[in-house]
């Protein structure tokens, strides 16, 4: 439905946004079929309320050690004002002292389960101011965006403020066949997404 030469989903959304008469554009990524509509509403409200932010996105706590180590689960760090500091497929913030003490991140997280609470999972939802989105699509990919394959780093690398809000409820990103099976089971049985 869009051109095939886009570098990211955000570039693809920008192509569509050019023909839309809207001030705010929402991108719920296709790999997030269980995202709570309340999460979408909160992200839109957060962007509208914060004139210094050009984008908003969401996160949720990580409760599973495997998610910390899984590169398909994008991690985010957030500053004291609620803006993204960084996104990575690697564990961030990296618990250096605990890893030194226990020999590996797996051992550190096993020995000190409270460390798990320092990690936040980025969810596949973006809200943009339309004019910013169109400008973003004209920028070349940044080196960190290419290295991590995370388009939001293109914005961060240019000093763009990305507001990060807590998701209203847990979701499951579908990045693997196992994820797909989990989501299918939830949809078929009507059970809730586990926290």
Has residue 3 been placed in a domain? no
CATH for 40:
3.90.550.10
DSSP code at position 114: G
pLDDT of residue 105: 95
Concatenate the DSSP letters of all residues of 46-100 into one string. Answer: HHHH-TT-SEEEEEEE---HHHHH-TTS-EEEE-TTSBEEEEESS-SS--HHHHH
Has residue 1 been placed in a domain? no
Has residue 115 been placed in a domain? no
**Alpha-carbon gap, residue 161 to 46, rounded angstroms:** 12
What is the helix, strand, coil percentage profile of the chain, to 5? 40, 20, 40
**Alpha-carbon gap, residue 20 to 158, rounded angstroms:** 25
Has residue 19 been placed in a domain? yes
Q: How many domains does the chain have?
A: 1
Has residue 50 been placed in a domain? yes
The greatest distance separating any two alpha carbons of the chain, rounded to the nearest whole angstrom, comes to 55
**Alpha-carbon gap, residue 37 to 168, rounded angstroms:** 9
At 60, list the tokens: 């949720």
pLDDT of residue 169: 83
pLDDT of residue 32: 80
Q: Which domain holds residue 33?
A: 9-62+74-88+123-189
Mean pLDDT in each 10-residue stretch from start to end of the chain (195 residues)? Answer: 67 74 87 86 97 96 92 95 97 96 95 94 92 93 95 95 93 82 83 69
pLDDT of residue 9: 67
pLDDT of residue 3: 61
Q: How far is CA 131 from CA 17, 55, 192, in A?
A: 9, 11, 37
Has residue 117 been placed in a domain? no
Of 40, 44, 77, 81, nearest to 62 (Cα)? Answer: 77
Has residue 152 been placed in a domain? yes
Has residue 17 been placed in a domain? yes
């Amino acid at each position: 439905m869009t051109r095939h030469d886009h570098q990211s989903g955000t570039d693809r959304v920008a192509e569509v946004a050019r023909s839309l008469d809207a001030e705010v554009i929402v991108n719920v990524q296709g790999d997030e079929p269980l995202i709570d509509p309340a999460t979408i509403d909160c992200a839109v409200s957060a962007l509208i309320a914060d004139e210094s932010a050009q984008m908003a996105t969401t996160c949720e706590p990580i409760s599973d050690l495997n998610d910390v180590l899984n590169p398909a689960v994008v991690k985010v760090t957030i500053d004291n004002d609620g803006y993204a500091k960084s996104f990575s497929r690697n564990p961030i913030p990296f618990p250096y002292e605990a890893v030194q003490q226990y020999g590996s991140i797996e051992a550190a997280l096993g020995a000190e389960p409270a460390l798990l609470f320092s990690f936040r999972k980025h969810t596949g939802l973006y809200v943009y101011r339309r004019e910013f989105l169109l400008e973003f699509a004209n920028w070349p990919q940044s080196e960190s965006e290419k290295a991590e394959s995370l388009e939001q780093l293109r914005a961060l690398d240019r000093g763009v403020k990305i507001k990060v809000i807590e998701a209203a409820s847990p979701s499951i990103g579908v990045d693997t066949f196992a994820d797909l099976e989990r989501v299918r089971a939830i949809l078929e049985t009507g059970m809730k997404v586990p926290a």
